[in-house]
Chain A
Amino acid sequence: MSEGSPTKKAEGPEYIRIEFDLPRHYNWSTGRYLGKVYAEAKENKKMVAPRCPTCKHLWARPPAPVCPKCKVDMGWDWVELPLTGTIFQYTYQVYPLWDPHEGERWSNPHPPAIILLDNGIYFRHLLEETDTKKLKEGMRVQAVWEEDYEKRGKGFQDILYFRTIEE
């Protein structure tokens, strides 16, 4: 048995720990492809995705300069996504976890879901309904936009969540 064996488990003496925060600031560039999504969302309240010239698949989240499956240049063929669909799968968080971007604990955020848009594309976003008893797979949902132009500019986050609709 090595010295790292359980017989040497940390207990007993009080150990000295050095704690400090690590502030780091970043300026991420959206680039051309994601930038197109940001611009269309902010300016026109539209969600767009590039279409692969070979497989014709729409790569919604996030868009890329290369088709992941065909491995060819994506080109610049953009298609607007319909923002109604059905809940394909959802989950919800019970135990609050750290938000790495804000440094605060999340509690009961909107349930993350996979939404099957009406054009057959899967789209990951949040659901408005936080009462999980009211959620069912297959429910119809529609995107709710941030209406304030000044508050938009957060890309996919310009859609606040998807709201349950009756049809």
Chain B
Amino acid sequence: MAERVAIVAVAQTKYHPNRADVSEEELAYEAIKQVLEEAGLTLSDMDSAITCCQDAYDGRTIASLSLQRVVGAHFGHELTVAEDGINAAYVAMAEVLSGHFETVLLVSHMKESQAEKSVIENCAFDAILMRQLGLDYTSAAALQAKRYTDKYGITPEQCAKAVVRNRRNARNNPFAQEPLDITVDDVIRSRMLASPIRLLDTKPISDGSCAMIMTTEEKAKKLTKKLVWIAGVSNCYETHYLGDRELADCDALVKAAKKAYSMAGIDDPLSQIDVAEISTEYSYQEPLWLEGLGFCGRGEGGKLVDSISLEMGGQLPVNPSGGVLPGNPNGVAGMARIAESVLQLRGEAGTRQVDGAKVALAHGYTGICGQHQAVMILSNM
């Protein structure tokens, strides 16, 4: 990219199973207030706001109406991205790069606790052909898990290892919802939800918000010394119908990663990326997405998870924050991955810090079995 876009402030709420104490607007504002303080800016300093929410979850037409005040939209610009928060970041970056806006406030919020998750998710399926099968994200993910693990011989233990590591890493993350010290055995003996997905293979219901501020290189240098740049970004759609897709191979992610890598000048991701924060709502997704991201060959995700190189201190620490499995709301998850990457690159990740991290990868996805995939490469150089 010719010019560079910086992320100058990030904030997250602590993720929680039920934030009955706050409205959506107040939940979003918790994170917004923090980024403003961190950047030393006010709502009036923002040239644009990108919100990220979905009407169906909020139970409201034009869900962003409830956010107008807390993003300071009066007489200004606000845009809502109805997908994962990582796409809000993509739009914000384009706004800054195009020269249309200088400083952009981003916020993603979600209260999964206020709606019936599976009923809402069911509305994402083709209304005539698939919705009536009663599918939700978990039952569809079970189909993908089955296909992927059968095709490549991935074992339940390998998937469980991802859960154990993510839940353990979460103990170092003050924002994490459910850090746990568990074993592979605990995971594979937990209650079956939709074979082969068990209770501990997936995430709990979660409420929370994440906010950040993006700006131009020039302005960023005035605001902070700890600069984090967007080095590469892309996203990609896959076709909708599950029967039309090879669920064992995430082609959309392969494409998104390739483009992001080429923008960032990465040809060997395993050696050039210091830390990865990836969105995995289900355990099988960690090996599968790692394949898509090119950290190993197709079908080799299981072996990669088996090796110790994904642990803290390993060759590629994956999800020092614990990622999505310990609890992250749908839609916020991808933006939270960027926020965590930024903390790593600023050396502010506390006990989950990866020493000397210079290049980080943030990943997010939206939709059934990862129909839409997004990758962002961040760097502090």
Direct contact of A and B (CB under 8 A): yes
Chain A contact surface mostly: loop
Q: Does the CB pair B69–A66 fall under 8 Å? A: yes
Q: Does the CB pair B23–A30 fall under 8 Å? A: yes
Q: Does the CB pair A31–B69 fall under 8 Å? A: no
Q: Does the CB pair B25–A65 fall under 8 Å? A: yes
Tell me if A71 is interfacial: C-beta within 8 Å of chain B.
Answer: yes
Tell me if A141 is interfacial: C-beta within 8 Å of chain B.
Answer: no
Q: Does the CB pair A64–B25 fall under 8 Å? A: yes
Indicate which residue in B22, B56, B128 contacts A29 across the interface (CB closer than 8 Å): B22
Contacts A24-B116, A24-B120, A71-B43 given; indicate if A31 touches B21 (C-beta within 8 A). yes
Q: Does the CB pair B127–A28 fall under 8 Å? A: no
Chain A: interface residue total (CB-CB under 8 A)? 24
Chain B: interface residue total (CB-CB under 8 A)? 32
Q: Does the CB pair A65–B114 fall under 8 Å? A: no
Mask, B201-237, CB within 8 Å of A = 1, is 0000000000000000000000000000000000000
**CA of A67 to CA of B74 in the docked complex: distance in angstroms?**
10
Chain A hits for B114, CB < 8 A: 26-29
**CA of A136 to CA of B50 in the docked complex: distance in angstroms?**
43
Q: Does the CB pair B119–A69 fall under 8 Å? A: no
Q: Does the CB pair B23–A29 fall under 8 Å? A: yes
Chain B hits for A23, CB < 8 A: 119
Tell me if B272 is interfacial: C-beta within 8 Å of chain A.
Answer: no
Tell me if A68 is interfacial: C-beta within 8 Å of chain B.
Answer: yes
Q: Does the CB pair A18–B128 fall under 8 Å? A: yes
Mask, A1-36, CB within 8 Å of B = 1, is 000000000000000001010111111111111100
The smallest beta-carbon distance between B55 and chain A, in angstroms, is 11
Tell me if B261 is interfacial: C-beta within 8 Å of chain A.
Answer: no
Tell me if B298 is interfacial: C-beta within 8 Å of chain A.
Answer: no
Q: Measuring CB to CB, which residues of chain A are less than 8 angstroms from any residue of chain B?
A: 18, 20, 22-34, 64-69, 71-73
